[in-house]
Amino acid sequence: MKLYTSLIITFIFFSFSLISIEANAQVTNPKYDKGLADSMGADAYGMKMYVLVILKTGEAKLDKSKQDSLFVGHLNNIVRLAGIGKLVVSGPIVKNEKQYRGIFILNVKTLDEAKTLLETDPAISNHLLDTEMFQWYGSAALPIYLPYHDSVKMKDF
């Protein structure tokens, strides 16, 4: 009888342990903000799909004044795309052997959507810059940093 009681107690303890482990595995992040997650398009992991664009030297051979004009248009387009929420990261890459010039992370899900946006950039449409594109899975909160950029920059380009 003593062995039987001991087995029952062990079984009950083991059962409660499994229930406790299962319950803990189902607990959500206490900081989770469903409204924010939904507004950012986040999945259950707080992530979503973007398009990563690598900008590289294009094939166009243009005089300096034309290049300068296209780069002004390029910078204006960056500001425009960021303003409408389609560009969440951009910046140059230091000189390198692969001719990579910069990156964009576009707030779109498909390569076709990205291509449509990139066609609005005069440096790309005039082949001063070329692109490589990849779907990229990253934090859905990435666009939130942009409003803070104005608080940390002293000058515009």
* pLDDT top residue among 31 and 133: 133
CATH number at residue 132: 3.30.70.1060
**DSSP classification of residue 27:** P
Q: Would you say residue 22 lies in a domain?
A: no
Alpha-carbon separation of residue 6 from 19, 20, 39, 139, 140 (angstroms): 20, 21, 54, 50, 51
Name the band, by pLDDT with cuts 50, 70 and 90, for residue 15: low
The continuous run of DSSP H or E covering 56 comes out as: strand 47-57
Measured CA to CA, the distance from residue 107 to residue 138 in angstroms comes to 10
pLDDT in tens, 45-83: 999 999 999 999 999 989 999 999 999 999 999 999 999
* Residue that is written with structure tokens 């859905």 in the block: 140
Host domain of residue 85: 43-141
The answer to whether position 6 is within a domain reads no
Residue 150 lies in a domain: no
Asked if residue 26 has pLDDT above 80, the reply is no
- Is residue 98 over pLDDT 70? yes
Residue 128: alpha-carbon gap to chain centroid: 25
Q: Is residue 33 in some structural domain?
A: no
pLDDT (0 to 100) of residue 5: 57
136, part of any domain: yes
For residue 6, pLDDT over 60 is answered with: no
What is the count of structural domains for the chain?
1
User: What integer pLDDT is reported at residue 75 of this predicted model?
Assistant: 96
Residue 135 belongs to some domain of the structure: yes
Q: Residue 21 falls within a domain, yes or no? A: no
Q: 137: which residues sit within 8 A by CB, 6+ positions away?
A: 47, 48, 49, 50
**Where does residue 128 rank: exposed (0-12), middle (13-18), buried (19+ CB within 10 A)?**
buried
Q: What is the DSSP string of 94-107?
A: ---TT-EEEEEEES
Which SS3 state, helix, strand or coil, does residue 48 take?
Answer: strand
pLDDT for 141 beyond 90: yes
Q: For residue 132, what pLDDT band results from cuts at 50, 70 and 90?
A: very high
Q: Which residue has the higher pLDDT, 119 or 23?
A: 119
